[in-house]
Amino acid sequence: MRLVVCIDRDDDLGRKAGVAGPVVGRAQVLDAAVRLGTVDPEDSDTNAIFAAVSLLDELRGAGEECEVCILTGSPKVGVLSDRRVADQFDHVLGEVHASSAYLVSDGAEDEYLFPILASRVRVDGVRRVYVRQSASIESTYYTLVRALKDPKLRAKTVLPFALVLLILGIAAAGGVLLWGVIGLAIVLGVYLIFWTFDIDEALIDSVRSASADIRQGSVAFGFGLFALALVGVGFLEGYNSYYASLSNPNVFDRAVVFLQAGLIWWIGGALIWEVGRAIRRMFSRGRFPRSFVVGSTSIVGIGLVSYGITFLVRYLEGITKPAQLPLLAGLIVTGFGLVIGAGVLQQYFKAAARRTVAGSTSSN
């Protein structure tokens, strides 16, 4: 006689369906499975019980003499539940007189009790039941599908993967796979920087703002276009200076020369951009914005500090002469002074705005 054993270690049958163990016999086991499945359709023990009945039918179809049973433990899983399972198994063996057993399990927890069965009869095998449709897996799948329908999330998840395939595919087709990997590293690096600092969102907002300015005939668009032109001129000047210094073997120094040549144009472009924004706000609100003073002061201060740092780097490289140290120190000190002054102005304007709001509230 072979016994097909299904173990409910935490006694879901007793807690949920009111079925006390042990349960012996095909009809009784099926009834217990139906009662448990009716109370809690998501309980995996239901599938394990049906699997035990299915194995029983399979063995009987092969001509073997066998029986099926369910052993239940305790909601407090541990020594008490294991002792109950052992006592029930002894009781079943006293009735069935089985010489071997086959364990049907829905997880590793029930398989911890394998030694209890093996110490009493020969265990011919263990069948673990896998549920094909898992709620967590299915919900995760549909959550991912719904999330990928969001254009923003799709652009930030699918786009990098598409770039990898596209660049590597083109490079492999052209026989320049190494350059493809280098280009891929650069593109992904730029993409991650844009993503980290939300530069892409800023660019999109700028494009939308520019589009609105064009439709409304705002003067800010002209200033913005001029600022972008100055930024481009700065890159062009920097490239010309870099190309002119190719005779210099020091690549780092050539990069500093590039920055020095472009900085003045970039600072000018930023100032023009701020002027355009200030004029647009003045037309829309009827007064010149205080933020223009803070913004333009900060831009000039940061520009002077950056320019001074480039001179300092060239001095440390032994290129700038010591006679230019006063100019270097003046640029850095003046720049920091302007940046600090911009911060003080910002706090002053905020305090003035709070006083104005408080005064209007008290008068009302």
Q: Tell me the pLDDT tens digit for each residue of 123-158.
A: 888 888 776 555 455 456 556 666 666 555 666 677
| The pLDDT value given to residue 138 | 47
State residue 115 phi and psi, 5-degree precision: -60, -30
* CA distance linking residue 213 with residue 207, whole number of Å: 10
Segment 317-340 shows an average pLDDT of 80
Kindly give, in sequence order, each residue whose CB lies less than 8 Å from that of residue 158, ignoring residues fewer than 6 positions away: 148
190-200 average pLDDT score:
68
Span 265-285, average pLDDT: 83
Task: Please say if the pLDDT value at position 219 is more than 50.
Answer: yes
Over range 299-315, report the average pLDDT: 83
In this prediction, residue 358 carries a pLDDT of: 62
Write down the pLDDT at residue 243.
82
Between 288 and 293, where is the model more confident? 293
Q: Which of 40-54, 155-169, 195-209, 333-347 has the lowest mean pLDDT?
A: 195-209
Given a cut of 70, whether residue 333 has pLDDT beyond it is yes
Q: Which of 43-57, 96-110, 227-241 has the lowest mean pLDDT?
A: 96-110
Q: What values do phi and psi take at 77, rounded to 5?
A: -65, 130
Element (H, E) at 286: none
pLDDT for 308 equals 84
DSSP 16: I
Pairing outcome for strands 100-105 and 2-8: parallel
Of the ranges 15-24, 158-167, 172-181, 354-363, the best mean pLDDT one:
15-24
| Spatial CB neighbours of 126, under 8 Å, sequence gap ≥ 6 | 102, 103, 104, 105, 111, 114
pTM of the full predicted structure? 0.45
Angle between the N-to-C axes of helices 291-316 and 251-285, in degrees from 0 to 180, rounded to the nearest 10 = 170
- Collapsing DSSP to helix, strand or coil, 69 comes out as strand
Q: Is residue 270's pLDDT more than 70? A: yes
**pLDDT value at residue 34:** 92
